[in-house]
Amino acid sequence: MFRLSNKVVQVNFQDHTEIMLSSETKVVTYVNKRGERSTYPLNSAMESANLEMVKRLKYTKDILTHMLNQNAGNLNKNNAARSAANQQRLGVDPGQIPVFEGDMVLP
- Is 50 a domain residue? yes
User: How confident is residue 64, by pLDDT bands cut at 50, 70 and 90?
Assistant: confident
Residue 104 located in a structural domain: no
Residue 7 lies inside a defined structural domain of this protein:
yes
Q: Is residue 55 part of a domain?
A: yes
In a domain, 96, yes or no: no
pLDDT band at 99 (very low <50, low <70, confident <90, very high): very low
Count of domains forming the chain: 1
55: containing domain: 1-59
Domain assignment present for residue 45? The answer is yes
With respect to residue 70, please indicate whether it lies within any of the assigned structural domains: no
Tell me: the pLDDT tens digits for 2-11?
Answer: 777 788 999 9
Q: Is the pLDDT of residue 67 over 80?
A: yes
CATH of the domain at 19: 3.30.1120.30
CB 86 within 8 A of CB 37: no
